[in-house]
Amino acid sequence: MAEDRPSAFEAYERRKVRLGVRLTLLYAAVYAGFVVLNVFFPPIIQKSGLFGLNLALTYGLGLIILAVVLALLYNWLCGVPPTEREEG
């Protein structure tokens, strides 16, 4: 008799996909802010940011750091394998 419930592995894979999509959308929103500032508000992006660098460079470096942090977060959250409890 086949069950309609997904296996622990399938549930685990779905959770990974949902998390990956959410983190990608978060990064895309932050990146869109960078693009909007550069296209529509160039004087703002030219102002001084951290360590005397302009905001464009500071924001760009922040995007790189955010991408690494999100990748590490994804790896950490998805590194937990399915447990017996998830199987049913």
Q: State pLDDT tens for residues 23-77.
A: 999 999 999 999 999 999 999 988 887 788 899 999 999 999 999 999 999 999 9
pTM, to two decimals: 0.79
| pLDDT tens readout for residues 58-72 | 999 999 999 999 999
Q: How would you class 11 by CB atoms within 10 Å of its CB: exposed for 0-12, middle for 13-18, buried for 19 or more?
A: middle
Tell me: pLDDT of 85 over 70. no
Where b means 16+ CB within 10 Å and e means fewer, 47-79 reads eebeeeeebbebbeeeeeeeeeebeeebeeeee
List the domain boundaries for the chain. Answer: 26-81
Q: How much is the pLDDT for 59?
A: 93
